[in-house]
């Protein structure tokens, strides 16, 4: 099994180097301090709360230093981190707590009332206010600690349980193993420029795999430097990217659009930024061009909670030439594109993307039925329709569940959305299928216009779609909104549009 205690090694090599800083407070932790806190926390959690290897610790907090200290302790002791979404309602948190059955819950004061309004917390053996944890860490980070021995665990042992967003049905807890942690970091460093000199600003929430595993955990593995932000603020991020001389930055398209629209974007200079890393959903081509004009190339990518998440990457040199592509698979990622019967499709034909490799989840927490449904002979079914061109560049057609059938023809909303977003009046667009008496289903587009949008834009946009799409793909209706509903990670909430 790959060595999992990264902090101890970097504390030996670079004990005084800052590993992580909080943007809002300026507090920092060096690799040496992280190593000491790992020992202190393992001992404290075991003695005071009875935490053992394999026990779950549920966490309800925004990005902060203590989260990173707990990660270091997790690698040493082998307990399991369960980051909870602090935007959920009490009943939703109850479901996650019941499913994860943690030994301990650690919660920030601001989220305590919501958590305690539910029924399950009272049944959890132990509760720890985050402020108490912070005080403990502040007191112990510079104190010599008795070494806590590394607890050997299997490579498929959970490091995290990461719950899916649950936009349909109940959330599933994806097991994120120590093996996944290691191989995701290797895949990332072989695709991107990640080394001891790397620097980033992390604005992604800690309950999302993007907040942990796109850059934060690979950076910890490589002895790099991360600035954590509790809340996204476009102007502040632009400022931090310059002040901290960030070499990489990851964001979803919504975040990058807000930054590009911020007043400080025009004057901002990013001489140290190699490129942006984009995931979550396809980035509109005009936005790629807007950042490229600032001298910042875009590395479009693809990932998911259950696999990787760093699976595909489009080299920045291809950002314009291969617009819309997620790139090629990362080094240790195997791919198949299959039809509904699980048979490989012909080159250039859309099909479901299946993935295999050491970065695939062992399964869903206490949900063998979901695991069996998602995996065939080690191949994980992504639920995404993709196609690959002759150069082995992959393109996401759409989520299978988003597809609708109009007059017997499959329509993938992402294809229609890309056309709409290319129109100069359109800021954002989302398309869903709705019942239609004649065709069975037809498209309904939800559009957010730029301030320059004109009256009568619906017919203009329909005509534009007719010029660029087959007739059956042209939306029947166009609904204009001030903004599109988004989920907690900035993706369009299609369930809200259908509701």
Q: What is the pLDDT of residues 275-284, one digit of tens each?
A: 999 987 777 7
155 closest CA partner among 181, 182, 183, 178: 178
Query: Is pLDDT above 80 for 173?
Result: yes
499 has a pLDDT exceeding 80: no
* Reported confidence tier of residue 398, pLDDT bands at 50, 70, 90: confident
Q: Compute the average pLDDT of residues 468-485.
A: 89
400 falls in which pLDDT band (50, 70, 90)?
confident
The pLDDT, as a whole number, for residue 166 is 47
Query: What is the arithmetic mean of pLDDT over 19-37?
Result: 98
Model pLDDT, residue 453: 64
The rounded mean pLDDT for the chain is 92
Q: Determine whether 476 is exposed, middle or buried from the number of CB atoms within 10 Å of its CB (0-12, 13-18, 19+).
A: middle
The distance from CA 3 to its chain's CA centroid, rounded to whole angstroms, is: 25
Share above pLDDT 90 across residues of the chain, in percent, rounded to a whole number? 74
Looking at residue 245, its pLDDT comes to 98
Q: What is the mean pLDDT of residues 232-243?
A: 97
CA distance 79 to 478: 50
Q: What is the mean pLDDT of residues 110-130?
A: 96
Structure confidence at residue 404 as a pLDDT band (50, 70, 90) = confident
Kindly state the average pLDDT of the residues 53-69.
98
Evaluate if residue 126 carries a pLDDT over 70.
Answer: yes
Q: Report the pLDDT averaged over residues 383-402.
A: 88
Q: What is the pLDDT of residue 169?
A: 59
pLDDT at 254: 80
Which of 277, 290, 365, 252 is closest to 327 using CA atoms?
Answer: 277
Predicted confidence (pLDDT) at residue 167 exceeds the cutoff of 70: no
* Beta pairing, strands 477-480 & 440-449: parallel
What is the model's pLDDT at position 367? Answer: 93
What is the pTM (predicted TM-score) of this model?
Answer: 0.85
The whole-number pLDDT of residue 450 equals 87
For 290-333, the pLDDT digits (tens) are 998 999 999 989 999 999 999 999 998 887 788 888 999 999 99
Mean pLDDT on 179-202:
97
Report the pLDDT averaged over residues 237-258. 94
Strand partners, 58: 82, 105
How much is the pLDDT for 454?
64
Mean pLDDT over 459-472 rounds to: 87
Beta bridge partners of 225: 199
CB 355 within 8 A of CB 379: yes
pLDDT at 168 over 80: no
Residue of 14, 52, 13, 47 lying closest to 30 (CA atoms): 14
pLDDT of 386 > 60? The answer is: yes
Q: Which two tokens stand for residue 340?
A: 């509904």
Residue 310's pLDDT is 96
Length of the chain counted residue by residue: 499
The CATH classification number of 404-497 equals 3.30.300.30
Specify the pLDDT at position 3. Answer: 57
- Residues 86, 113 contacting (CB under 8 angstroms): no
Query: Backbone dihedral region of 27: left (phi > 0), alpha (psi from -120 to 50 degrees) or beta?
Result: beta
């Amino acid at each position: 099994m790959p060595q999992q205690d990264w902090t101890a090694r970097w504390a030996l090599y670079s004990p005084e180097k800052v590993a992580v800083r909080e943007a809002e407070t300026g507090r920092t932790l060096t690799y040496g301090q992280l190593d000491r806190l790992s020992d202190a926390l393992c001992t404290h959690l075991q003695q005071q709360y009875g935490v053992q290897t394999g026990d779950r610790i549920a966490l309800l907090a925004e990005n902060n230093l203590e989260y990173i200290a707990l990660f270091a302790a997790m690698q040493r002791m082998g307990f399991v981190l369960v980051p909870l979404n602090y935007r959920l309602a009490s009943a939703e948190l109850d479901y996650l707590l019941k499913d994860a059955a943690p030994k301990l819950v650690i919660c920030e004061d601001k989220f305590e009332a919501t958590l305690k309004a539910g029924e399950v917390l009272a049944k959890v053996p132990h509760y720890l206010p985050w402020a108490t944890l912070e005080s403990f860490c502040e007191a112990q980070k510079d104190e010599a600690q008795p070494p806590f021995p590394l607890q050997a665990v299997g490579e498929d042992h959970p490091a995290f349980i990461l719950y899916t967003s649950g936009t349909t049905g109940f959330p599933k807890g994806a097991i994120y193993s120590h093996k996944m942690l290691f191989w995701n970091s290797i895949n990332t460093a072989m695709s991107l420029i990640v080394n001891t000199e790397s620097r980033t600003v992390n604005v992604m929430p800690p309950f999302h795999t993007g907040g942990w595993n796109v850059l934060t955990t690979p950076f910890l593995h490589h002895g790099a430097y991360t600035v954590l932000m509790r809340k996204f603020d476009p102007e502040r991020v632009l400022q931090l990217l310059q002040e901290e001389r960030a070499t990489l930055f990851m964001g979803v398209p919504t975040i990058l659009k807000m930054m590009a629209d911020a007043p400080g974007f025009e004057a901002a200079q990013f001489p140290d930024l190699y490129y942006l890393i984009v995931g979550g959903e396809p980035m509109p081509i005009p936005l790629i061009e807007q950042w490229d004009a600032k001298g910042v190339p875009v590395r479009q990518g693809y990932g998911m909670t259950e696999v990787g998440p760093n699976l595909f990457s489009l080299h920045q040199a291809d950002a314009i030439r291969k617009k819309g592509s997620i790139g090629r698979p990362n080094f240790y990622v195997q791919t198949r594109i299959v039809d509904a019967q699980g048979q490989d499709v012909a080159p250039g034909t859309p099909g479901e993307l299946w993935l295999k490799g050491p970065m695939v989840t062992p399964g869903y927490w206490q949900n063998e039925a979901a695991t069996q449904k998602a995996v065939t002979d080690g191949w994980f079914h992504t639920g995404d329709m993709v196609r690959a061109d002759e150069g082995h560049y992959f393109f996401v057609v759409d989520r299978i569940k988003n597809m609708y059938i109009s007059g017997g023809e499959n329509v993938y909303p992402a294809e229609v959305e890309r056309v709409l977003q290319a129109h100069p009046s359109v800021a954002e667009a989302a398309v869903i299928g709705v019942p239609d008496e004649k065709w069975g289903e037809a498209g309904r587009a939800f559009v957010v216009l730029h301030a320059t949008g004109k009256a009568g834009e619906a017919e203009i946009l329909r005509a534009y779609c007719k010029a660029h799409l087959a007739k059956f793909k042209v939306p029947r209706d166009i609904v204009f909104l001030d903004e599109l509903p988004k989920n907690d990670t900035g993706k369009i909430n299609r369930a809200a549009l259908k509701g």
